[in-house]
């Protein structure tokens, strides 16, 4: 199902919608709490280990943190004013998020290219791999719950946020594989090559945000 295919709203009963919106709030606050931890640990451990892979993972977490704050704002507006929220503002925020993801993808390509050109490697990071392993089940739980609530609310925006959580889970998987390969092989090129593997996810997520449906899916 495409993001734009979800009917809006699915649940018309005001009391039930309010309950679902509060469920969505709890999920977003859990996302915000985790993204703060994930971003801080990934960037700090990435800088300590000179790992482009981890730094990129951390920056993506900060972008997802910003996205979660936007959704909290949207949910707050619906609680106060019903469905009368600004679609133009949502589309603008969506394009900003997409632009940031494109910029991050460009940074990764340039930094990885420099690393490969200079034969610059990274140190293995135990905090980094523990963080990435923890992120996989957390992102799975958050994404499944967000998708379920989004379907009941008929919210394309919440569904898009769930897709971002799924993307974060895949990024976590790439980081785990990259760090494990780095530990096993000890090769200088592993960090740069696996950081390039993240670029696909960044561009895909950025394009979906930039080309959001009329509702401002992201």
Domain boundaries, the chain: 10-210
Taking the C-alpha atoms of residue 94 and residue 107, their distance in angstroms, rounded to an integer, is 20
Q: Which CATH architecture is the domain 10-210 placed in?
A: Up-down Bundle (1.20)
User: Which residues have CB under 8 Å from 186's CB, separation 6+?
Assistant: none
Q: What residue spans of 82-125 are helical by DSSP H?
A: 87-117
In this prediction, residue 155 carries a pLDDT of 74
Q: Looking up tokens 């859990």, which residue turns up?
A: 30
Question: What's the rounded mean pLDDT across residues 109-123?
Answer: 80
136 to 23, 162, 171, 176: CA distances (angstroms): 22, 14, 9, 10
pLDDT-derived band at 144 (thresholds 50, 70, 90) equals very high
In eight-state DSSP terms, residue 4 is G
Average pLDDT, the chain: 80
Report helix, strand or coil for 129.
helix
- Region 205-218: mean pLDDT is 61
How large is the average pLDDT for residues 13-33?
Answer: 88
Q: When comparing pLDDT for 82 and 67, which is higher? A: 67
Q: What angle do CA 7, 138, 92 make, to 5 degrees?
A: 45
pTM of the model: 0.77
Rounded percentage of the chain residues whose pLDDT exceeds 90: 22
């Amino acid at each position: 199902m495409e993001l734009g295919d979800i009917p809006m709203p699915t649940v018309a009963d005001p009391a039930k919608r309010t309950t679902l919106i509060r469920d969505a709030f709890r999920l977003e606050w859990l996302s915000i709490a985790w993204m703060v931890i994930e971003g801080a640990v990934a960037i700090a451990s990435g800088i300590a280990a000179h790992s482009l892979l981890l730094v990129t993972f951390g920056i993506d977490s900060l972008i997802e943190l910003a996205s979660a704050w936007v959704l909290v704002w949207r949910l707050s507006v619906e609680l106060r004013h019903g469905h009368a929220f600004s679609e133009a503002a949502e589309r603008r925020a969506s394009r900003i998020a997409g632009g940031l993801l494109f910029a991050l993808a460009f940074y990764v390509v340039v930094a990885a290219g420099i690393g490969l050109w200079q034969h610059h490697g990274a140190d293995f990071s135990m905090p980094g791999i523990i963080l990435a392993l923890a992120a996989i089940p957390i992102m799975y739980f958050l994404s499944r719950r967000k998708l379920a609530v989004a379907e009941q609310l008929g919210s394309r925006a919440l569904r898009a946020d769930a897709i971002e959580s799924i993307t974060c889970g895949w990024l976590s998987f790439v980081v785990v594989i990259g760090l494990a390969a780095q530990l096993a092989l000890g090769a200088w090129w592993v960090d740069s090559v696996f950081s390039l593997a993240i670029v696909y996810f960044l561009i895909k997520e950025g394009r979906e945000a930039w080309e959001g449906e009329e509702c401002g899916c992201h």
